[in-house]
Structure 1
Amino acid sequence: MTRATPSIQAAAIVLLLVLAVHLAVFWPGIMTWDAIRQYGQAVSGQYDDWHPPAMNWLWHQLRHVADGPAPMLVLQASLYWGGTLLLLLAALRRGRRGAAVTIGVLALSPIALVLVGTILKDSLFAGALLLAAGLLAIAPPGARWPRIVAALVLVAAATLRFNAVPACLPLLVALCPAAWRATLPRLAAISVLAAVPLVLALPLANAALHAERSGVELSLVIYDLAGTGRFSHADTFPPLAARDPVAVNRGCYSPISWDSYAWWGPAPCPIGFAALRAPLATKPGPYGWWLAALAAHPVAYLEHRLTHFDRNTRFLVHDADLPVLSLESDPNRWGYAVAPNPVRTWTSTLAVASVATPLGWPACWIALAFGLVVLRPSLRDGGVAPALAWSALLYALSYLPLSVASEVRYHFWTIAATGVAAALLLGQRATWAVPRWRQALAVVPFAAILLGSIAARLV
């Protein structure tokens, strides 16, 4: 028995107990409106593509175990804590006790506890990627099966989000044999090849499940047309019956989210999803209208995207103006709800408070991920930490052109992956054995974004 074995056994026991307590505190799982809609499709077995059909199908299968959100809660939490345990054990096996303790503490973040306790594709996605990263970290050199299982998990995770590829790709590349990554040309080639199954995963899953087209892609088109029109003071929509669409749009647009253009808000915009669906289908089609608006008003489009990304990442904002975490189940026809308990109340209070600190500001985590990539950019050695840093950064940046809403849950994976990567990298001397200009490039942007975020909230 090695000296590290007792520590490994103790860590495994502690995290299994944490999993049990976590499940008990949030049982049977918080059901938001998204989860309610998804569970309805899981019950009926009929899917559309507004939310990932693969997750709805999985939930349908889990109903053979038990009805309601509980089986999905168990799956989410098991993936999250299972991945955390593997990463923690890998650190202990390498004698990195400080890194292991940091990974465990970060995993206990109240924000993470609430998000994992809420039935969300974002939580399922983050849990799956943590498990894949843990398998990569724990796999002995040359071991195939842990890597094969991790690769399958990543492809499955790619069915859960339309922007999953940037998050999954660095991890999938790191799983490949070292010889495939030995030179930059080989690394580039394997990156292109590895992207293929990730890109195909979502459309193939939707086709296999005969998911009905919902027009979900129009949400981005509509929001970009609205934002471009708002900042250009021009009519960027297809011809509509609405009188003075510029003025109407001015009253509807919010840099926080597209929700006023959807049908579920308390006061839907007259220029919204229902009114635009048919006009957008006319020539040149939704993306043709989008390209026309972008070509006519590129600066306005950039203003819209940057302003929304600022809210999405909670950078130069006031936290009170942005959406909060969901702490209770929304009303649903099955009556599923989480019973009140003191531990959940305490955890929820801490989570809400944490969102108003750098722990809940994605901009700071993105800056930290950028710094880690600057310090340790190479994916050629197959290490899990650089792969996590790249995954966190690329996934976060995908929201710059693709986001339509501003909630912390969208950046759950970026926060979790950056935290683990920082725990593994920042305590190593080799990480800082780089030229001073690279050290500055890693540290200065993080410090500037952190200080800018704090200053914006004090104004």
Structure 2
Amino acid sequence: MTPRPVLASWPLAAALLAALTIAAAWPGIAMYDTVSQFGEVLSGAYDDWHPPAMARLWAVLRGVFGGQAQPMLVVQVGLYWLGLGLIAGALARIGGRGAAVAVLACGVLPVFLFWQMAVLKDAQMLGAMLASMGIVAWWRLADKRVPWWGWALVAVALLYATLVRANAVFAVAPLVAMLVATRWRMRALLTVAMVLATLGGMQVVNHQVFGAEDTGIRTTQPRYDLAGIAMRVADPSATHLSPAQAEGLRRGHCVKGYFWDPLGDGPCAEAEAPLAGLSVGQLYATLAGAIVRHPIAYTEHRLSHLNSTERWLVPAGWLGAWPPTEAEPNTIGLGNPGTVAAWLNQATAPLAETPLAWPIAWLAVAISALVVALRRPASPRRDLALALLVSALALEASFAVISIASDLRYHLWPMMATALAVVLLADARPSRRALRIGGAALGLIIAGGIASRAILPHAPDSYRAMLTS
């Protein structure tokens, strides 16, 4: 049994790292979404374009502690390091000191740490998910039952993670199913039930509980996909867009694999205007019919976006991989991050061009690790790793059909979950065959990514240039 003072040193180390992170980042990196949400906090008028749960919590914390982005920075960094500290301490308790060090090392990887300095819903989700897993790991890795109050804390953290990102349910539901059920059929049924219940109830929660205005954000996904189909096949009966409108989309480069945004602007908005007038139900019914009639066009469109968001066969400089070193220009008091964070951020930005910042590379590792985990006998470490991997892969799979933007921050949880799962599984050597096959797949992915960045013209260097390129 590890002595208690030694055991406590791991959460204390995590607490020190949290304090250093907060001090370096203070008052936090304010991006476009940060400015938008803080504007809601100041005005008291909320909408559903960004998660109202986060803005409401922000308003409460600001009312108690004051400040601008600082309270939310403390929340997300605190949850982040709390989860990692508990996992590290739990591993040290069962003799895995090397694994405990590796867990904290995952936390200081720039690809994770610097995004945690940006006050965003994605960082809030990652922090909440890690905190919940830390609580579970504290007992499960010691082969003990999680007490009821521990499960209550887990439920609160996962509920917040679900509310703070529209697609978080695709990670949370399978994670819960893996933690509470033992049979695969029950896990699948529980996952589907949770996803459907969450998607159905989210609108009630956002609009009636949190009082958010409906901005029509639910229409963006089907409009993006229908426009993508129309760009490839001019079929007014399937897409509600005339040949002239489809040509306007093509001429204006309105549908990009990188993001949805051009469709909401100028001539592109005019070209897809018939779609903007349809209800959510009508749009999804139209999309379903268009997919049946033009599956190849739909698949080409979705693969283009999937390649972009997975950051694989893309040019060098693909935007959205690293947070900025300065705050988004604003007039509401959100300042620049600390000079230490800005310097470290800029110094590590070249890592954005490496496989560490390619979600598809992490996806390959996750699939390989899943195969390894499934072939191992049940154990606390293996079971926790399996839960993390299933959650990571489920969220990544959802991007194939539900995603309209390519920022790296959307993949933070799958990437971190994969890293932690690999640490948990490192207590036993995988088979040589698994290493060969997994290594070969990862090698091909990395080779393809390097080649595309070497061959393709450099990506535009600004958001506005991405809109018009």
TM-score between both structures, scaled by the size of structure 1:
0.88
C-alpha distance in 2 between matches for 1:325 and 1:50: 22
1:456 maps to which residue? Answer: 452
Q: Which amino acid is 1:285 matched to?
A: Q
1:212 maps to which residue? Answer: 213
Indicate how the Cα distance of structure 1 residues 185 and 363 shifts in structure 2: closer, same or farther if over 3 A, else same.
Answer: closer
Instruction: Map residues 344-355 of structure 1 onto 2, 5 A cutoff.
Output: 344-355=341-352
2:464 maps to which residue? Answer: none
Q: Does the aligned pair in 2 maintain the 1:262–1:272 contact within 8 Å?
A: no
Q: Does the aligned pair in 2 maintain the 1:31–1:336 contact within 8 Å?
A: yes
1:32 maps to which residue? Answer: 31
C-alpha distance in 1 between matches for 2:389 and 2:26: 32
The correspondence for 1:255, drawn from 246, 254, 257, is 257
1:148 maps to which residue? Answer: 152
Q: Which amino acid is 2:145 matched to?
A: G
C-alpha distance in 1 between matches for 2:388 and 2:137: 11
C-alpha distance in 2 between matches for 1:185 and 1:22: 42
C-alpha distance in 2 between matches for 1:425 and 1:330: 41
The correspondence for 1:336, drawn from 334, 337, 346, is 334
1:296-344: CA deviations, max 9, x gaps?
Answer: 3210110010111101011111231433433121122212112551x22
C-alpha distance in 2 between matches for 1:305 and 1:189: 27
Identity of aligned residues (%): 32
C-alpha distance in 1 between matches for 2:166 and 2:225: 17
1:289 maps to which residue? Answer: 286
2:459 maps to which residue? Answer: none
C-alpha distance in 1 between matches for 2:104 and 2:450: 27
**How far has the Cα of 1:81 moved from its partner?**
0.7
Q: Which amino acid is 2:215 matched to?
A: S
Q: Does the aligned pair in 1 maintain the 2:321–2:409 contact within 8 Å?
A: no
Q: Does the aligned pair in 1 maintain the 2:47–2:215 contact within 8 Å?
A: yes
1:115-162: CA deviations, max 9, x gaps?
Answer: 111111111001100011111100252232222321232123111222
Indicate how the Cα distance of structure 1 residues 286 and 186 shifts in structure 2: closer, same or farther if over 3 A, else same.
Answer: closer
Q: Does the aligned pair in 2 maintain the 1:59–1:72 contact within 8 Å?
A: yes
1:392 maps to which residue? Answer: 392
2:230 maps to which residue? Answer: 229
Q: Does the aligned pair in 1 maintain the 2:25–2:338 contact within 8 Å?
A: no
C-alpha distance in 2 between matches for 1:426 and 1:250: 52
Deviates more, 1:28-37 or 1:202-211: 202-211
1:152 match: secondary structure? helix
Alignment gaps of 5+ in structure 1: none
Q: Does the aligned pair in 1 maintain the 2:22–2:77 contact within 8 Å?
A: yes
Indicate how the Cα distance of structure 1 residues 443 and 286 shifts in structure 2: closer, same or farther if over 3 A, else same.
Answer: same
Indicate how the Cα distance of structure 1 residues 35 and 399 shifts in structure 2: closer, same or farther if over 3 A, else same.
Answer: same
Indicate how the Cα distance of structure 1 residues 427 and 186 shifts in structure 2: closer, same or farther if over 3 A, else same.
Answer: same
Deviates more, 1:55-64 or 1:444-453: 444-453
**How far has the Cα of 1:280 moved from its partner?**
2.5
1:403 maps to which residue? Answer: 403
2:460 maps to which residue? Answer: none
**How far has the Cα of 1:198 moved from its partner?**
4.5
1:352-373: CA deviations, max 9, x gaps?
Answer: 2111111101100111111111
Q: Which amino acid is 1:262 matched to?
A: G
C-alpha distance in 2 between matches for 1:167 and 1:193: 14
C-alpha distance in 2 between matches for 1:13 and 1:278: 52
1:171 maps to which residue? Answer: 175
**How far has the Cα of 1:381 moved from its partner?**
5.9
Deviates more, 1:293-302 or 1:397-406: 293-302
Instruction: Map residues 60-139 of structure 1 onto 2, 5 A cutoff.
Output: 60-64=59-63, 65-139=65-139
2:165 maps to which residue? Answer: 161
1:393 match: secondary structure? helix
C-alpha distance in 2 between matches for 1:268 and 1:355: 33
C-alpha distance in 1 between matches for 2:61 and 2:267: 35
C-alpha distance in 2 between matches for 1:406 and 1:272: 23
Q: Which amino acid is 1:127 matched to?
A: G
**How far has the Cα of 1:286 moved from its partner?**
1.5
TM-score between both structures, scaled by the size of structure 2:
0.86
Matched, 1:447 2:443: yes
1:187-207: CA deviations, max 9, x gaps?
Answer: 445445555664456334213
C-alpha distance in 2 between matches for 1:413 and 1:272: 36
Instruction: Map residues 291-370 of structure 1 onto 2, 5 A cutoff.
Output: 291-327=288-324, 328-341=326-339, 343-370=340-367
1:405-454: CA deviations, max 9, x gaps?
Answer: 1111111111111111111113424xx26xx7656554443332223222
1:50 maps to which residue? Answer: 49
Q: Which amino acid is 1:165 matched to?
A: V
1:161-195: CA deviations, max 9, x gaps?
Answer: 2221221123212432xxx42x4444445445555
C-alpha distance in 2 between matches for 1:358 and 1:73: 27
C-alpha distance in 1 between matches for 2:190 and 2:401: 25
Indicate how the Cα distance of structure 1 residues 124 and 156 shifts in structure 2: closer, same or farther if over 3 A, else same.
Answer: same
Q: Does the aligned pair in 2 maintain the 1:234–1:246 contact within 8 Å?
A: no
Alignment gaps of 5+ in structure 2: 456-469
Q: Which amino acid is 2:327 matched to?
A: S
**How far has the Cα of 1:250 moved from its partner?**
3.8
C-alpha distance in 1 between matches for 2:414 and 2:191: 20
Deviates more, 1:186-195 or 1:5-14: 186-195
1:271-316: CA deviations, max 9, x gaps?
Answer: 367x34653349x821233223323321011001011110101111
2:413 maps to which residue? Answer: 413
Q: Which amino acid is 1:215 matched to?
A: G
C-alpha distance in 2 between matches for 1:334 and 1:373: 46
2:401 match: secondary structure? helix
2:268 maps to which residue? Answer: 269
